[in-house]
Amino acid sequence: MGSRRYRLTLITMLVGIVLIAVCGLIIVASWSQRSRTDGASHAPSTSSLATRGSVPTRSITVLDTLPWPKDAFTEGLDRLPQGQTLVSTGRYGMSEVYFLNDDGHTAHTHHLPRKYFGEGIAATPTSVWQLTWKSGHAIRRDRQSLAEAGSAHYEGEGWGLCYDGHSLLMSDGSNKLTRRDPDTFEKRSSLSVTLDGRPVGNINELDCAHNRIVANVWHSEELIVIDPSSGRVTSVIDASGLPPSRGATGENVLNGVASDPADPAVLYVTGKLWPHLYRVRVDGLDG
């Protein structure tokens, strides 16, 4: 009788251990899935773009380290001629838009409704457009106050946005960029991005200036420089030397690029939940 009771106790303990292990695996898998989808829904790039093509790889030199809101889940960045940075942040219930001065002070902060996940942002001469991730909702804002002044609908996901002086360019996480009317947000045309003839996916935050497009590639420590007429990648910028990039885990990855309006070789670069905005010079980018 004692032996049977012992065996039953042992079986009960083993069953309990198995159940605990299974529950733990479910919790870990669920947490991992939330982490992967808290800003983008496509698989990350795992290989260096520089090793996949014959285009030049450009190095960077840090010129200045500027303050940055440490809780900013950076999704959109634009540098204005008057020396301000236009910022859009993500996450449901935490998304914001604001101007950021180089001393770290913010101005004209607006919070998005909880149902919207803020994404790319771009200023035109008359307004500011801000994307949302999965809602198909573009918000038009006043150029000075950033107050909402209208909206537009689009199909698919919204990731990055920039203005090239004629059209808005929008990314959706694929290798496709869409040109849109800066007044109505209506689609004008599309552009496929390729590196040595092969599509480059996971294109995220965008910058349009100096007759080029510079783009973040999600979960990559590199940026790509794109010919706006052909979609061909002309060079790769290695940003792996930035301190937060070296220690990036989860979602605190490189994301946020804006050209200096006055100097084509200078970029402003940051990432999601990074503590600083970096002003960097890119070797050969002015050529």
> pLDDT by residue (tens digit) across 204-255?
999 999 999 999 999 899 999 999 999 999 999 999 888 765 555 568 889 9
Query: Would you say residue 200 has pLDDT above 50?
Result: yes
Name the residue with tokens 């290798």.
175
Using DSSP, state whether 159 is helix, strand or coil: coil
Contacts of 146 (CB under 8 A, 6+ apart): 97, 98, 99, 108, 109, 110, 128
Over residues 85-90, mean pLDDT: 95
Whole-angstrom distance, CA of residue 79 vs CA of residue 99 = 10
Closest to 225 (Cα-Cα) out of 243, 242, 245, 203:
203
Amino acid at 199: P
Confidence of residue 7 (pLDDT cuts 50, 70, 90): low
Q: For residues 173 and 202, is the Cβ–Cβ distance under 8 A?
A: yes
Whole-angstrom distance, CA of residue 24 vs CA of residue 20 = 6
Token pair of 15 as six digits = 């069953």
> pLDDT by residue (tens digit) across 100-122?
998 888 999 999 999 999 999 99
Look over the chain and give the mean of its residue pLDDT values, rounded to a whole number: 84
Query: Would you say residue 166 has pLDDT above 90?
Result: yes
